[in-house]
Amino acid sequence: AQKVTQAQTEISVVEKEDVTLDCVYETRDTTYYLFWYKQPPSGELVFLIRRNSFDEQNEISGRYSWNFQKSTSSFNFTITASQVVDSAVYFCALSEMGTNAGKSTFGDGTTLTVKP
Amino acid sequence: GAVVSQHPSRVICKSGTSVKIECRSLDFQATTMFWYRQFPKQSLMLMATSNEGSKATYEQGVEKDKFLINHASLTLSTLTVTSAHPEDSSFYICSASGDYNSPLHFGNGTRLTVT
């Protein structure tokens, strides 16, 4: 069975601070996908990143960066110089590869509040 | 722009009535779509996998007769909540991708309130 743990339920930071959202996963699959999604108050789910299990390169996209460490089964997400618009619930998710790639197991989410 | 369109975004219905939610892939064909449910302040839980031209595959604990899924074309899947009750009030969200190498796109969700 797959499991995703986001231990931080809520995080509050002041604008311009850096913040890291933790994600730890469990799976018996040797190949899999990891995702991060953002859910703003309006409710829609915004895709942020997908990472293959065989690609451990860290990725940076603007103020966002992701640290994938297979040895510790972690896929952490860092926002640099946070902004108020970053306030949202962030979900980490895990899925199989192949035709079941859409069947994702989500973590419980981390609510990030960025205060001005 | 949105690549998966979900309609309606909000619906209020009376207990005992049925509600249909549509999920459309706008610029790609999706042989498989997924339906999730999210209770307030909780995570997303997969309800079922919608397969074009065949029966949906439901997750354990999801009532097939209550949550009817139809995937009649490569761009449209519908979820019908039959004989809705207040406990069915939730946020329902669909997802789809063109193929398993493509990112998964989510619809904007439907907030269902059953009075």
Distance from CA of B41 to the nearest CA of A (A): 9
Candidate from B44, B104, B108 with C-beta closest to A102: B104
> pLDDT at position A104, please?
87
Instruction: Test B104 with A43 for CB contact under 8 angstroms.
Output: no
User: What's the pLDDT at A102?
Assistant: 74
Q: How far is it, in rounded angstroms, from Cα B25 to Cα B4?
A: 5
| Residue B16, Ramachandran bin (φ over 0: left; ψ between -120 and 50: alpha; else beta) | left
User: pLDDT for B60-98, tens place per residue?
Assistant: 999 999 999 998 888 999 999 999 999 999 999 999 877
Q: How confident is the model at residue B7 (pLDDT cuts 50, 70, 90)?
A: very high
Out of B93, B96, B111, name the one closest to residue A45 (CB): B93
pLDDT at B37: 96
Q: Is the pLDDT of residue A10 over 60?
A: yes
B32–A contact, CB cutoff 8 A: yes
User: Is residue A78 very low, low, confident or very high in pLDDT (cuts 50, 70, 90)?
Assistant: very high
Inter-chain residue contact B49 with A103, CB threshold 8 Å: yes
Please check whether residue A113 is in contact with residue A103, taking contact to mean a CB–CB distance below 8 angstroms. Answer: no
**Which residues of chain A have a CB within 8 Å of the CB of B93?**
45
DSSP for B8-55?
A: -SEEEE-TT--EEEEEEESSS--SEEEEEEE-TTS-EEEEEEEETTS-
pLDDT at A35 over 60: yes
Residues of A in contact with B108 (CB under 8 A): 42-44
pLDDT at B31: 81
Per CB-CB distance under 8 Å, the chain A contacts of B34 are 102-104
- At B21-58, the pLDDT tens digits run 999 999 888 888 999 999 888 899 999 998 888 889 99
